[in-house]
Amino acid sequence: EPEVTQTPSHQVTQMGQEVILRCVPISNHLYFYWYRQILGQKVEFLVSFYNNEISEKSEIFDDQFSVERPDGSNFTLKIRSTKLEDSAMYFCASSDDPGGNSPLHFGNGTRLTVT
């Protein structure tokens, strides 16, 4: 069964550094998402992306964050200057429909630790 893959599984970085989290969505999907989950808490929406542009973003997704689809298979999340509170699990998801007809399929996440 096709799956969403994310790399790395764990990223440790120092406060103020830039990180790029990488995702390969399911190949025939057109809608891509990033979510964040702070340890033990709910899964929070960050951003959705379609047709090479952001479709919707949450208040968490401020100017420190950016997303990109650099080629036909990868989808990345960049955090320009990491803060301690950015430590969380980051999940990438994709779907073949923007909402209302099919579920999101999630990767297993990247655990980001900011020290």
CB of 66 to another protein, least distance (A): 17
Q: Which residues pair with 79 in a beta bridge?
A: 19, 65
Q: Pick the closest to residue 97 from 37, 48, 24 (CA basis).
A: 48
Residue of 8, 18, 43, 70 that binds another protein (CB under 8 A): 43
Cα dist from 40 to 2, 10, 63, 82, 101, whole Å? 28, 17, 26, 21, 29
Piece in contact with another protein (CB under 8 A), picked from 12-20, 62-70, 74-82, 90-98:
90-98
Examine residue 105 and tell whether it contacts another protein (CB under 8 A).
yes
Calculate Rg over the CA atoms of the chain.
13
Cα dist from 2 to 37, 45, 106, whole Å? 23, 23, 11
Examine residue 64 and tell whether it contacts another protein (CB under 8 A).
no
Examine residue 98 and tell whether it contacts another protein (CB under 8 A).
yes
Examine residue 40 and tell whether it contacts another protein (CB under 8 A).
yes
Examine residue 106 and tell whether it contacts another protein (CB under 8 A).
yes
Residue of 11, 13, 44, 66 that binds another protein (CB under 8 A): 44
Q: In this structure, what DSSP letter does residue 53 have?
A: E
Interface residues with another protein (CB under 8 A) are 4, 31, 33, 35, 39-45, 48, 50, 55-56, 91, 93, 98-109
